[in-house]
């Protein structure tokens, strides 16, 4: 790849600043899903093997005022990371100051240190998330080399990525960021064909840029989820009480015209009268909606058709579930597509973060997909073909 990676670095005896994405779900001070921590382990372990001193930092949640800091310390994450690495991780409960500086300068080769939630700096004027120049320069002064491994924030210019990178001599991609560039960037720029995209989720408006870009790049774009009904209403179908964006109907018509045979919509749905996990349902064709019914999943006919199309693909990108997969009655479409992707032998399968990634992990398909992105918003912007600031600042080889 064109960007410098940690394989290109000599970090022997050096202090390596590593921006990770440990923005993990927490409940009552406990981590409920440590996937993002586990995803960062290869980068951390590689830098330790290369005789570096590793200084880690991340954001956790959104912090606007002092009260928001409650339950947002990275201390439990440092403890969990220590378990995974099977070595101590020193935690410093500050984002700047003498104690942090002394702790870093006294580090030995092979040691790991984590400092406090970078968003704590946002209480006083959004210094972190507005990329305050002084803060980025300060953090850069704490190390010799900078490794960016947080794809989840790569679509933002923050002090903890762009700010540091602008004030340090050497910037490289960690192994997780390298994978994101290889798989998502590669799918958009130079996919093996046929290249099929599956787009689900609630709203057309969330994915306008993605749909437009993929209609140019992909061979077929398969639509599912709540956004289906906006397209259907634009075609003149009755959609009952289904989710719809009435202000996007004209846009949907334009996308249908642009996509022609490339943009594929469901032909049948699971229809119900209430949004409930135990709601009784029936399967109906797209011209069979009653005025008091809503669609909550694709039907069997659509699933079989989508599955047959995917058998042809050499590259598949999927973003957004095709039904309300949290409800067992309406998870069959999402599960069926996951099963198909998991069974494909010579196909690169990529899940673009967000709910489709959560579905794959929760339903046990994590190890059977080529790449599951760790970034929701970042993966969407990357699929749009945008240049992400957190990738742009990585040194070219």
Q: Which of 182, 203, 253, 273 is catalytic?
A: 203
Q: Is 203 a catalytic residue?
A: yes
Q: What is the DSSP letter of 366?
A: G
Buried b / exposed e over 146-162, threshold 16 CB at 10 Å, is bbbbbbbbbbbbbbbbb
Q: Which ranges of the chain would DSSP assign to H, the alpha helix?
A: 35-49, 75-85, 98-105, 133-140, 164-165, 175-180, 186-189, 208-217, 227-234, 249-259, 300-310, 332-343, 354-362, 376-383, 389-392
Cis-peptide, bond into residue 318, ω within 30° of zero: no
Q: How far apart are CA 8 and CA 290, in angstroms?
A: 61
Q: Is 258 a catalytic residue?
A: no
Q: How far apart are CA 169 and CA 281, in angstroms?
A: 60
Q: Which of 61, 377, 385, 386 is catalytic?
A: 377
Q: Which residues contact 241 (CB under 8 A, 6 or more apart)?
A: 273, 291, 292, 293, 294
CA 250 to chain CA centroid, nearest Å: 29
Neighbouring CB atoms inside 10 A of 273's CB total 15
Q: Residue 351, SS3?
A: strand
Q: How far apart are CA 123 and CA 129, in angstroms?
A: 10
Q: Is 354 a catalytic residue?
A: yes
Q: Which of 36, 127, 217, 248 is catalytic?
A: 36
Q: Which of 225, 354, 376, 390 is catalytic?
A: 354
Catalytic residues: 36, 203, 354, 377
């Amino acid at each position: 790849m064109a960007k410098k990676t940690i394989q290109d670095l000599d970090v022997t005896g050096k202090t390596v600043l590593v921006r990770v994405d440990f923005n993990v779900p927490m409940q009552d001070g406990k981590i409920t899903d440590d996937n993002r921590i586990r995803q960062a382990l290869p980068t951390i372990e590689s830098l330790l093997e290369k005789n570096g001193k590793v200084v880690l930092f991340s954001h956790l949640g959104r912090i606007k005022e002092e009260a928001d800091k409650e339950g947002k310390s990275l201390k439990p994450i440092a403890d969990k990371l220590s378990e995974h690495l099977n070595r101590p991780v020193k935690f410093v409960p500050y984002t700047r100051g003498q104690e942090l500086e002394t702790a870093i300068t006294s580090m030995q080769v092979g040691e790991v240190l984590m400092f406090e939630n970078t968003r704590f700096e946002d209480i006083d004027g959004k210094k972190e998330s507005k990329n305050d120049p002084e803060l980025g320069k300060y953090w850069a002064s704490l190390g010799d080399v900078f490794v960016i491994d947080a794809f989840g924030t790569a679509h933002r210019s923050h002090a903890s990525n762009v700010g540091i990178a602008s004030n340090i001599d050497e910037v490289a991609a960690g192994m997780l960021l390298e994978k994101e560039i290889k798989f998502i960037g590669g799918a958009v720029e130079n996919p093996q064909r046929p290249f099929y995209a599956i787009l689900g989720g609630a709203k057309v408006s969330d994915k306008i840029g993605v749909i437009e870009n993929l209609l140019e790049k992909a061979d077929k774009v398969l639509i599912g989820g709540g956004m289906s009904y906006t397209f259907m209403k634009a075609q003149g179908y009755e959609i009952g009480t289904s989710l719809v964006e009435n202000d996007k109907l004209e846009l949907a018509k334009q996308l249908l015209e642009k996509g022609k045979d490339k943009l594929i919509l469901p032909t049948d749905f699971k229809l119900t009268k209430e949004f409930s996990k135990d709601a009784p349902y029936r399967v109906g064709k797209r011209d069979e909606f009653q005025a008091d019914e809503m669609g909550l999943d694709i039907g069997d006919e659509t699933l079989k058709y989508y599955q047959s199309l995917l058998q042809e693909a050499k590259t598949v990108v999927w973003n957004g579930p095709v039904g309300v997969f949290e409800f067992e009655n309406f998870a069959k479409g999402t599960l069926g597509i996951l099963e198909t992707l998991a069974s494909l032998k010579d196909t690169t399968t990529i899940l673009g973060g967000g709910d489709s990634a959560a579905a794959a992990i929760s339903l046990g398909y994590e190890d059977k997909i080529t790449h599951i992105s760790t970034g929701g918003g970042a993966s969407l912007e990357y699929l749009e073909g945008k240049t992400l600031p957190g990738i742009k600042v990585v040194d070219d080889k």
